[in-house]
Structure 1
Amino acid sequence: MELRHLKYFLMVAEELSFVRASEKLFISQPPLSRQIKELEDEIGTRLFNRNNKRVELTEAGKYFQKEVKEILLTLESVSQRTKKVGDNLNGEFRIGYISSTFSRHISDLIKYLSEEYPFVNFRLYEVPSIKQIVALEQGKLDLGILRGPLKSPKLMSELWFQDSYAIVFNKNSIKIKTENDVGQLSNERFIFYNKSYAPSYYETLLQICSKFGFAPQIVHESNNVSSILQLVKEGLGASILPTNSIKNNIYNELDFIELKSVKLFSDVLLSSPKSENSSITKNAIQFLKNLRISTFG
């Protein structure tokens, strides 16, 4: 069994058509059919049921597809790590972050790492937490700064800091002074983070509103903190965001009230693949943890 057999199989499994698969693989159909037949003969079972009208995976084929995908993802991750070893720290180091955590602290991290490793190209990518987890598992990111929860046997993580939540609003259109006034916002419009990008975070915001006795009227959703704050700034609604993300992006038109009574926090995590053990990763995490001690308490 060769690697090309697996790649050919996955393409046919995805397209469920030998014609379309052969076109995408840039080979003619008869050789592709022979390769799949060789693979089935070697395994000793049929992977596809096929006739003149349709191609479909057998139950064995469905299982094989799932396992082969995992094998190829692992192989890609190994290849990435091998390249880094061969580059001898002359390659790239890729850091993912979520928009609500970007601040001068991450800028300070890049400055520090660039001075420590002058021959490494450091890349920053704004990626939602869910997608960061996948990218870290696949070796496409070396370090992730994301919000919990994180459940992956392939990743290790450390708590950077716990962020409280705060209500943020346009102070010219909403007149509240203390946390006790938040219940007055039951008739106000709200701008929330996109549910599909951060489902746990979205549910926490609903829980916070419930604690103040109302269900929010959500009129806008966004997957970016800056966009949410811009909408709030324009008077299109209030929002609930992690406190530090507001402090890092405050506008003259905005005010916020930290919601201390709800006793809910957002865990900001530093995560990396368990197989990633480079000095860059260790130093980056330690640098940010030191910032946590001095800045976030």
Structure 2
Amino acid sequence: MNLLAFRYFLEVAKTLNFSKTSETLNISQPGLSQQMMSLENELGIKLLNRSTRKVMLTEEGEYLVKSLQPSFEHIENVIRELKENQQLPSASLRIATVPSAASNLIPIALKQLRSEMLDFEFNLQEVTSLKAVELVESQRCHLAFIRTPIDAKRLDDLGLHMLEFERHPLQVIVSAEHPIAGKSSVDLYDLRNEPFIHYDEKEAPSLFYLLERACLSAGFIPNTIGGGPEILTISTLVSNGLGITLMPRDMYHLIQSHRIKAIDIDGDQSYSSISAIWKKASYVPLVTKRFLDILQGFEITSST
């Protein structure tokens, strides 16, 4: 089996352009075409639909790309690390995370890992969920902790595993001076005329859609006056009486401010959770694998 032909195929699949791929690989276009035809003949399946105007992957081609890409990316990463370090890289764990996981889940898991494996380093990078997905997908981080997305299938399409942890109910967050601040629970519909501090749809999509869905389920569209991706910014806006918001209980516990209050929502079944994600690959570094084993103890559901 000619592994170089598979490498050529992955490049063709990336560009869907034989001319561009031949330039990138420094191979003639007829030679590249011959490599693809030989590979299809050897496998006995058609991988590419070619015409004079465009190139498209067949279903079998898409499956092969999805199956092979992680392995070739791993090979390239290993070679790059060896070249850069001129030696075997030390055991390290690069983690991208949203703030709530950085303060709650990760320290507990790292403490347990440290008790089992002393010879490793770790680096935490606090980012939005969107950025965390990007860092893991590009393999700049070994794993990440994000707000569980509404559509977990997208993670699977990106070649990522997902492990979900404890779910927390949404609560109404108001200023300590707000008229309802002393209540233990509230009907969300009664707040339909309140100004809402929202989440950024691009940077914090899970929280954005959770708030939208909760309000729509209550029978209204939130009257949004502003927002952003950072929970401290949003909580500061709320504490100054500029509006109210909805926030998962675990996020509210991070803020620890006497200037805002959290109120339960009557009858609402909206929940949010943190999930760990990592790249699907045939090889996972030992320290990452052990860390994932530890995280299994916190899991409630899993998706692949």
Asked whether the 8 Å contact 2:185–2:264 carries over to 1, the reply is yes
- Please state whether the residue corresponding to 1:158 is helix, strand or coil: strand
Shift of 1:207: 2.2
**Structure 1 segment 88-103 matched on structure 2, within 5 A:** 90-103=90-103
The aligned residue for residue 28 of structure 1 is: none
Q: Specify every segment of 5 or more residues in structure 1 that has no aligned partner in the other structure, as ranges.
A: 26-30, 50-56
TM-score if structure 2 supplies the norm length?
0.67
Question: Structure 1 vs Structure 2: percent identity of aligned residues?
Answer: 20
The aligned residue for residue 249 of structure 1 is: 255
- Please state whether the residue corresponding to 2:192 is helix, strand or coil: helix
Alignment CA distance shift 1:4-1:243 (3 Å)? closer
The aligned residue for residue 39 of structure 1 is: 32
**Partner Cα separation in structure 1 for residue 103 and residue 232 of structure 2:** 12
149-158 vs 203-212, which deviates more?
A: 149-158
**Partner Cα separation in structure 2 for residue 12 and residue 43 of structure 1:** 14
103-112 vs 169-178, which deviates more?
A: 103-112
The aligned residue for residue 54 of structure 1 is: none
The aligned residue for residue 147 of structure 2 is: 147
Asked whether the 8 Å contact 2:97–2:144 carries over to 1, the reply is yes
Shift of 1:43: 4.2
**Partner Cα separation in structure 1 for residue 292 and residue 9 of structure 2:** 37
2:203 to 197, 215, 222: 197
Q: Deviations over 1:150-209 (max 9, x none)?
A: 331744333321111111111224534232354332222111221123444422212212
Asked whether the 8 Å contact 1:145–1:268 carries over to 2, the reply is yes
**Structure 1 segment 1-297 matched on structure 2, within 5 A:** 35-36=28-29, 38-40=31-33, 42-43=35-36, 58-59=54-55, 74-80=71-77, 90-114=90-114, 116-149=116-149, 150-151=152-153, 152=156, 154-176=159-181, 177-180=183-186, 182-259=188-265, 261-274=267-280, 275=282, 277-285=284-292, 287-288=294-295
196-205 vs 249-258, which deviates more?
A: 196-205
Asked whether the 8 Å contact 2:16–2:55 carries over to 1, the reply is no
- When the two structures are aligned, how many residues end up with a matched partner? 275
**Partner Cα separation in structure 2 for residue 279 and residue 11 of structure 1:** 30
Cα RMSD (Å)? 4.4
Q: Deviations over 1:5-31 (max 9, x none)?
A: 7899799879x999xxx8xx8xxxxx9
**Partner Cα separation in structure 2 for residue 290 and residue 236 of structure 1:** 41
TM-score if structure 1 supplies the norm length?
0.68
Q: Specify every segment of 5 or more residues in structure 2 that has no aligned partner in the other structure, as ranges.
A: 38-47
Alignment CA distance shift 1:9-1:104 (3 Å)? closer
